[in-house]
Structure 1
Amino acid sequence: MITIHPRRRFPTSPQPSLPALSRCRRRWTGLLVAAALAVALGVLAVASATAAPPVLAQAPGPSITDVLNNARNWIMGILAVLATLFLTVGGVRYLMAGGNAGEVEKAKQAFKSAGIGYGLTVLAPVVVEILKEILAQPK
């Protein structure tokens, strides 16, 4: 119930009830679980993408092409995981900003960082192809 003090113009707000506090805790718990799942899925995606088939015959040694392909795969995986992490952090910050302009700006900066990370992930194969052309030995 809202009570009005005789000397105040605005009503005083009641203290938050116990169910309201538990809803707030449930919201935070849900957001933390969603963030943890996003990170875990990113790590699993990188681990499964870089898994190599079993080797049946051993070659004399890795060529420069193999080394560059492996470097590209690792760089793409790490960039994708970091970009997803920034996207998740930005989303959580934006949801929890509550109209605070400073927090909204921080969330927007995290979104920009995620976009840059995804852009670099897309450009990684192009950079590796350029390196392959530079390092290719004439036949």
Structure 2
Amino acid sequence: MAATLVVLADPVWAAPPPADTDPTAQINAIIGNITRWVTGMLFGVATLFLTISGARRLTAGGDPTQIERAGREFKNALIGYALALLAPVALGIVRSWLGA
């Protein structure tokens, strides 16, 4: 299974460099790569929190402390997904500041 995931993975940093040497195009390419990387990392961390939250909820055994903790982790996962969706917007604002 792990070998299959490695073979099918598409690294973000393997994007070809821009064909022209225009600094604006280079900045756009860099910001685009950063956007994809940050978004991927945020989705990954949010999914990890969601998985941990679900496992904690399933293994709580009726313990209110564990159920409350699972609820907080679920909320954190939702915040992570929201940040992942807003990352391209935030980096678009940075791009507009740079005039790119």
TM range (shorter): 0.7 to 0.9
Q: Which residue of 2 aligns with 1:129?
A: 92
The question of 1:48 aligning with 2:48 is answered no
The CA distance in 1 between the partners of 2:98 and 2:75, in whole Å, is: 34
Counterpart code for 1:91:
G
The question of 1:97 aligning with 2:81 is answered no
Which structure shows the bigger proportion of residues in helix conformation?
2
**Partner of residue 37 from structure 2, selected from 56, 62, 74:** 74
Shift of 1:51: 6.5
Counterpart code for 1:95:
L
Distance 1:64 1:103, change over 3 A: same
TM-score (norm 1): 0.58
The CA distance in 2 between the partners of 1:104 and 1:113, in whole Å, is: 14
Gaps of 5+ in 1: 1-36
Figure out how many residues of one structure are paired with residues of the other and give that number: 94
The percent of aligned pairs where both chains have the same amino acid is 37
Shift of 1:86: 0.2
The CA distance in 1 between the partners of 2:57 and 2:42, in whole Å, is: 22
The CA distance in 1 between the partners of 2:94 and 2:11, in whole Å, is: 22
Counterpart code for 1:48:
D
The CA distance in 2 between the partners of 1:129 and 1:97, in whole Å, is: 42
Residues 45 and 80, structure 2, Cα contact 8 Å, conserved in 1: yes
Shift of 1:59: 3.9
Gaps of 5+ in 2: none
Distance 1:136 1:97, change over 3 A: same
Matches within 5 A, 1:1-139: 47-48=9-10, 50=12, 52=14, 55=16, 59-60=20-21, 63-136=26-99
Counterpart code for 1:135:
L
CA RMSD, 1 decimal: 2.7
Counterpart code for 2:12:
T
Residues 28 and 95, structure 2, Cα contact 8 Å, conserved in 1: yes
Instruction: State which structure, 1 or 2, has the greater radius of gyration over its C-alpha atoms.
Output: 1
The CA distance in 1 between the partners of 2:51 and 2:66, in whole Å, is: 15
